[in-house]
Structure 1
Amino acid sequence: MMKYTLLLLFMLSSLYGAELILTGTVISNNQKMIPARYMGYVKKIHFEVGDSVEREDTLFELESAEFDILESQADLALEQAKLMVDVYQTRLNVYKNRKKRLKRDRKLMSASNYRADMEEMSDSMDNVTASIESAQVLVEQVSEKTKQFATIAGYLKIKAPNNGILVDKRIQVGDMVAPGMLTMILVDMDHLEVEAEVAESDLKYVRRHKVVRIKIPSLNYKASGYIKAIVPSANPMAHTFKIRVHFEKTSDMIFPGMYAKVFVDLTNEIVNKI
């Protein structure tokens, strides 16, 4: 019986190669759609399609006349508020010095004059102190507004969220963009996968975390990986399912869009069936 089983297994292996061969495509697991976050005209573009970018690189810049006016007004208001604080602080220091001299010259003055001058000096200092506090509150309020404009300024400089290659650019200098408008597509080249389709009849041979082999014929590149996911939505026309195969990239020549093959070992399935 054992000899018959081995002979049958050998015949099946010879007939089918004991492998399910799937065709697929190399894709990036981290593709970013870069939108505009503020309305304005494109002032400068720093990268073109095919360029490599690093995280936090400025991809392009926007300009907005309305924003520039508001930002200038906020900066001017902040400078004026700080100047008011300095003026009142200087005035307070003058009153403090006068108060010191008044105390020093007390013996040369009558008690009534000294008391009247001291009361007048204290009232003036209280008024100036209140003015300083009001000006400091104004500085805080305007500073908060300038921080908001700084945030908006960050929206005008669109930065790369991660390392990658720019694969699509849909804007030109002088174009008007609106919030949410797609401007660029950035592809992470360090996290690649193979996406393949498997027929419904062969779906029983694949499962998550199963180890498979992949090959990229154009590079004669071979590697091992595992089935990361089985997409549970079938193609109603071809009755196929998509699978994602994770593998470790060891060559800089592998790019999204390359043709790939996935080899699923069927030996265990054949043995279990027998």
Structure 2
Amino acid sequence: MKKIYVTLALSVALLLGSCGNKNNETSNDEAAIAVEVNQTTENQTNALLSVSGKIQSSNSADLSTRMMGYINKVYVNVGDQVKKGQMLVSVNSVDLMAQKAQVDAAIVQATVAFNNAEKDYKRFKNLFADNSASQKEMDDISANYEIAKAQLEAAKQKKNEVNAQLAYTNITAPFSGTITTKYIEVGDMANPGMPLISIEVQDDYEVMAMVPESEISQVEKGTPVDVLVKSINRTVKGKVQEVSTSAKNTGGQFLVKIALEKTDAPILSGMFTTVQFPITQKSDTQMVLVPVDAIIHDGQLSGIYTVSQSNTAILRWLRLGRIFGDQVEVLSGLKADEIYIVSADGKIYNGAKIKY
């Protein structure tokens, strides 16, 4: 009987062990995360250089005054369409009006003095011709005439100066456009050089982009580019209009201006963009490119999940370089012909079991 019991117990144990192995295999299969993978290659073909940029109006102005005074009236609000020469802001000009009245009085006085001096000059000129006046008298009368003439001219120029100052108390639109910013209200104190109103033309836009020195030699005037406006997820066509030849004040980045084509996209000044320049890679330049979406970010670190020989996810930290369209250059951490994970059906982590 003991042998029968031992044999039966051994059979049950083997049966349970076999079931347990099947359950473990099933569990392992269920734990594996389905992923999509790709293989890196060395790239030598033409690529796109992507740089950040910002949209601005090609014609804009911040209006200010040269005079100090209180704001009497603001005639416009943000968003208003204005015409060239339209009144926008008026600054208190009581003191200038008083100076203008004084100048007008000085002009009247100088005019009377000049007329009298001119009559005396003509009279003595005739007397001198008839030898009825001495040379000394003629010289004195000529001097008085020139002094009166200069005083009248000085009074008129003083009036021009006051009128020029008065022009800065009435701020008008330098061109037709849209009011984008209003910095002041009635009663505020205007100071010389302080912005009062901003105006811009909103149907003509451009992009200011910064290109690194390593690539600026491949950016030429007239080159067509694609401009991705991030906030509205629209791509607008543009053309390189200006290329800076100095990075003295821009930290090694060269300023490039792109004129945008007319579009129905709802773009506005200040929107951030990604400008894609078509560039040609040098024949001796080999690059490893991976999709930007496959990159994992942890603070200042960037990495990508690769596949181990045992089909587990391994997080590999990378040093990245330039961005070309939707791909980024890998400087170190990943070599050509290595497999990396593009996407996963579940939450992936370092050491996770995967299948593809």
Q: TM-score with structure 1 length normalisation?
A: 0.61
Aligned to 2:165: 152
Deviations 1:107-161 (A, max 9, x none): xxxxxxxxxxxx79xxxx9999887665444322211211221221222223444
Aligned to 1:115: none
% same residue: 23
- Between the aligned partners of 1:89 and 1:271, the Cα distance in structure 2 is 86
Of 51, 61, 69, 1:32 maps to: 61
Of 244, 264, 272, 2:277 maps to: 264
Aligned: 1:208 with 2:237: no
Greater RCO, 1 or 2 (C-alpha within 8 Å, sep 6+): 1
RMSD of Structure 2 on Structure 1 (CA): 4.7
- Between the aligned partners of 1:13 and 1:48, the Cα distance in structure 2 is 56
- Between the aligned partners of 2:107 and 2:272, the Cα distance in structure 1 is 59
Q: Which has the higher strand share?
A: 2
- Larger-Rg structure: 2
Aligned: 1:250 with 2:262: yes
Aligned: 1:173 with 2:202: no
Q: How many residues align?
A: 234
- Between the aligned partners of 2:143 and 2:214, the Cα distance in structure 1 is 81
Aligned: 1:138 with 2:147: no
Residues 269 and 191 of structure 1: is their aligned pair in 2 closer, same or farther, counting only changes over 3 Å? same
The one-letter amino acid paired with 1:183 is: L
Aligned to 2:308: none
Are the equivalent residues in 1 in contact too, given 2:46–2:278 (CA < 8 A)?
A: no
Shift of 1:263: 2.6
Residues 139 and 261 of structure 1: is their aligned pair in 2 closer, same or farther, counting only changes over 3 Å? same
- Between the aligned partners of 1:272 and 1:76, the Cα distance in structure 2 is 82
Are the equivalent residues in 1 in contact too, given 2:47–2:281 (CA < 8 A)?
A: no
Aligned: 1:228 with 2:243: yes
Aligned to 1:63: 92
Aligned to 2:73: 44
Are the equivalent residues in 2 in contact too, given 1:54–1:162 (CA < 8 A)?
A: yes
Q: Which has the higher helix share?
A: 1
SS of alignment partner, residue 251 of structure 2:
coil
The one-letter amino acid paired with 1:174 is: G
Are the equivalent residues in 2 in contact too, given 1:43–1:62 (CA < 8 A)?
A: yes
SS of alignment partner, residue 153 of structure 1:
helix
**Unaligned stretches of 5+ residues in structure 1:** 1-10, 100-118, 235-240
SS of alignment partner, residue 182 of structure 1:
coil
**Unaligned stretches of 5+ residues in structure 2:** 1-39, 287-356
The one-letter amino acid paired with 2:239 is: G
Q: TM-score with structure 2 length normalisation?
A: 0.49
Shift of 1:73: 0.9
